[in-house]
Amino acid sequence: MKIIIATGIYPPDIGGPAQYARETAKSWTRAGHSVTVCNFGAIRFLPTIVRHIAYFFWVLARSLHTDFIFIPDTFSAAVPAVAVGKILRKKTIIRTGGDFLWEQYVERTGDLVLLRNFYLTRMEKLNAKERLIFRLVGWAFRNMSAIVFSTAWQRDIFTKPYRLDLKKCFIVENYYGPCEQRACSDVLENIRTTKEKVFVGGTRPLKWKNLARVKEAFAKAQKQDALVVLQWETGSRGKFLLDIEASHAVIIASLGDISPNTILEAVQFGKPFILTRETGLYERLKDIAVWIDPENTSDIAEKVLWLADDTNYKAQAAKIRAFSFTHSWDEIANEVLTIYARD
């Protein structure tokens, strides 16, 4: 089978969609399929309209003899790739990640609206560019062959505003790796020379990531426990994974995170974590997470202090060690092919 992966980003770019594109490509290649990756990020240097037109023709040229187009993106790569699929009558499968429109709106306005409330309360406040994005994303969703969501939570948020056909919507959970211990003990011993309790929240400095409230919460927590430290900066993926392994815990307090890879990597390394209640991972991780209200800085501070306590920390670590669910990249790739093969 010949497969095109039309992705918005690809390694060395850091991000869930980049990893998703690379790992599904590897899985399908191992299974004997022919895979071509068209990375929109490679032409991002072009002007906005020009790069979308260029990407359309790039995907078109490579899709003439392909079986289907897989799109781990919802806008930049998705709109041109779905158009190619319609012209060539090829099946197109979109795999959603975050929400490009909501992220754009929050960054522009600074309005810290929760993702689950955005489509219910803010549509009249969109500017012309955002209204165009909404229409184009909706067009792509209604003209693809199938949409893959990693959580029912996001599917339910998107269903009404984008008028989705639920018969074309499928849930394929994110990657859950087995427990892992990296061979970095010599490096880690050098890192662990301090008694500080480092909470890793490494992510891009975007408003929807709720950094201002998290920093305020840590300032409150540090008045009671000076050893509590927030590490927000991140570098390469390898360095970030090392930071997680060397940390006390991981924290994600964003205004909406569908299935954050940082948390799944924390689970893989056996690290306790604090997670926003505004996520699609609640049902899967409800028994092992420390949950917070991302709009309540006092709640965030209290949970940080709670997890800084040694007794509580050991109890959470034990819960995570007992967590045994896994979902491999090969399983994910096979589930996508099953969706492709349906009538």
Asked whether the beta carbons of 59 and 92 are under 8 A apart, the reply is no
Inter-residue contact 256 to 208 (CB < 8 Å) = yes
pTM recorded for the entire structure: 0.90
Q: Specify the pLDDT at position 181.
A: 56
- Nearest Cα neighbor of 319 from 279, 285, 277, 293 is 285
For the chain, the first-to-last Cα distance in angstroms comes to 17
> Three-class SS string for 1-41?
CEEEEEECCCCCCCCHHHHHHHHHHHHHHHCCCEEEEEEHH
Amino acid type, 223: K
Is the predicted pLDDT of residue 183 greater than 70, yes or no? no
For residue 48, the model assigns a pLDDT of: 86
Count Cβ atoms within 10 A of the Cβ of residue 183 and give its class: 0-12 exposed, 13-18 middle, 19 or more buried.
exposed
Q: Report the pLDDT value the prediction gives residue 240, as an integer from 0 to 100.
A: 78
Torsion sign across C-alpha atoms 185, 188, 193, 196: negative
* % of the chain beyond a pLDDT of 70: 94
User: Hey, what domains does the chain have and what are their CATH numbers?
Assistant: 2-175+328-341 (3.40.50.2000), 185-322 (3.40.50.2000)
If one compares 293 and 203, the residue with the highest pLDDT of the two is 293
Asked whether the predicted pLDDT for residue 182 surpasses 80, the reply is no
Provide the β-strand partners of residue 279.
257
Sheet holding 249-252, edge to edge: 228-231, 197-200, 249-252, 273-276, 290-292
Lowest mean pLDDT among 10-14, 262-266, 297-301: 10-14
- Amino acid present at 87: I
pLDDT grade for 191, boundaries at 50, 70 and 90: very low
Give the model's pLDDT for residue 225. 94
Q: Please give the distance of CA 77 from its chain centroid, rounded to a whole number.
A: 16
Residue 273's pLDDT band, with cuts at 50, 70 and 90, is very high
Instruction: Specify the pLDDT at position 266.
Output: 94
pLDDT of residue 31: 96
Instruction: Express each pLDDT in 121-147 by its tens digit.
Output: 999 999 999 999 999 999 999 999 999
pLDDT in tens, 142-178: 999 999 999 999 999 999 999 999 999 999 999 999 8
The per-residue pLDDT for 194 is: 61
Q: How confident is the model at residue 204 (pLDDT cuts 50, 70, 90)?
A: confident
Find all residues with CB under 8 Å of 199, minimum gap 6, and list them: 218, 228, 229, 230, 231, 247, 248, 249, 250, 251, 274, 304, 307
Chain-wide mean pLDDT for the chain?
92
d(CA 96, CA 170): 11
